[in-house]
Amino acid sequence: MAFIDYYKILGISKAASESDIKKAYRKLARKYHPDLNPNDKVAEQKFKEINEANEVLSNPENRKKFDAYGEHWEHAEEYEKAKQQEQHQRSTSNPYGGYTEEDFSEVFGSMFGGGSSRSQGRQVKFRGQDFNAELQLNLKDVYTTHKRTLTVNNKNIRITIPAGVENGQVIRIKGHGGKGSNGGPNGDLFITFSINKQSQFKRDGHNLYALVDLDLYTALLGGEITVNTFDGKVKLTVKPETQNGIKVKLKGKGFPKYKKDGQFGDLYITYTIKTPTKLSTKEKELFTELSKLR
């Protein structure tokens, strides 16, 4: 990945205060927010870079690392550790010798591919940077296990999405992150699932909930109705004198349980009784007679 100067992204200098960073971030975030730039891929990428820059620079510890090591800031702790180990080894082999900045640079160079000829034989291998991606899905998409091809950093990756994954759940694709340094292993790709909640069904874990309209006559006298479930329609018997808000459980008609083949939650139906409107004269007379009987 190309080096991204977070200060440049936010349009601030290295001397910027925490308040300056916050103001710059808020201004740019509003300008490039996806809601204000629908279907604009350039704005979407810019918004991601702005958020990434803010996450680093608004954190004093991470900002300090970025100022010191630039594009290698995420390896700062590893570098410090390697430097200490190198210093210990040299002081052990030569207790009277000093440890110069040139030696520090040599260790740093060995970590990231440079360094003098002395360091080439003992380069330190470092794991590549982890990447993060978000995959937006509908509830229907995660009802069954299926495969999908994603494009990450111009590479096509075919993944299996297990049935029953939750909104916000993260899975790891090993070795599909940034390239390792000095022959070190690649980082991993972490995919966060963002599941659209717009559905006639409300999901809570592996259970589903839905509202079903019931006409007054069926509620009073009972009968048979057809209701939607996630995998089709089913007939349901309504008991006479069913009250508004009554819940009925349809066992096994809920959502599949994550990585548990053949196991499903339940579907809970809540009846909403609809009062008839635009009554005819005859209907009004009959309801009046009924009211007198009560």
pLDDT, tens digit, for every residue of 188-234? 899 999 998 888 899 998 999 999 999 999 999 999 999 999 889 99
- Residue 109 has a pLDDT of 54
- Residues 10 and 99 placed together within one structural domain of the fold: yes
Could you tell me if 97 and 36 lie in one domain?
yes
Do 151 and 169 lie in one domain? The reply is: yes
Q: Determine the pLDDT at residue 292.
A: 86
Q: What is the pLDDT of residue 178?
A: 85
Is 36 within a domain? yes
| Cα–Cα dist 282/256, whole Å | 50
Give mean pLDDT, residues 249-271. Answer: 94
The CA-atom distances, in angstroms, between 57 and each of 10, 15, 104 are 10, 12, 25
Q: Residue 63 domain-assigned?
A: yes
Distance CA 193, CA 132 (A): 11
Q: What are the tokens at 278?
A: 């635009």
Instruction: Please report which confidence band the pLDDT of residue 123 belongs to, taking 50, 70 and 90 as the band edges.
Output: low
Q: So what's the pLDDT on residue 118?
A: 46
Q: Centre a 10 Å sphere on the Cβ of residue 193 and count the other Cβ atoms it contains.
A: 18
111 and 10 belong to one structural domain: yes
- 3-class DSSP assignment, residue 43: helix
Does 286 fall in a domain?
Answer: no
- Among all chains, which residue has been given the structure tokens 């590479």? 155
Work out the pLDDT band at 87, boundaries 50, 70, 90.
low
Same domain, 179 and 112: no
Question: How many domains are contained in the chain?
Answer: 3
Please calculate the CA angle 218-224-225 and round it to the nearest 5 degrees: 85
Residues 165 and 270 in one domain: no
Look up residue 91 and give its amino acid.
S
3-state helix, strand, coil in the chain (%, to 5): 35, 25, 35
Element spanning 171, H or E: strand 170-173
Domain that holds residue 173: 131-196
**What's the pTM?**
0.55
206 in any annotated domain: yes
pLDDT value at 53 more than 80: yes
CATH number at residue 188: 2.60.260.20
Question: Residue 261 pLDDT more than 60?
Answer: yes
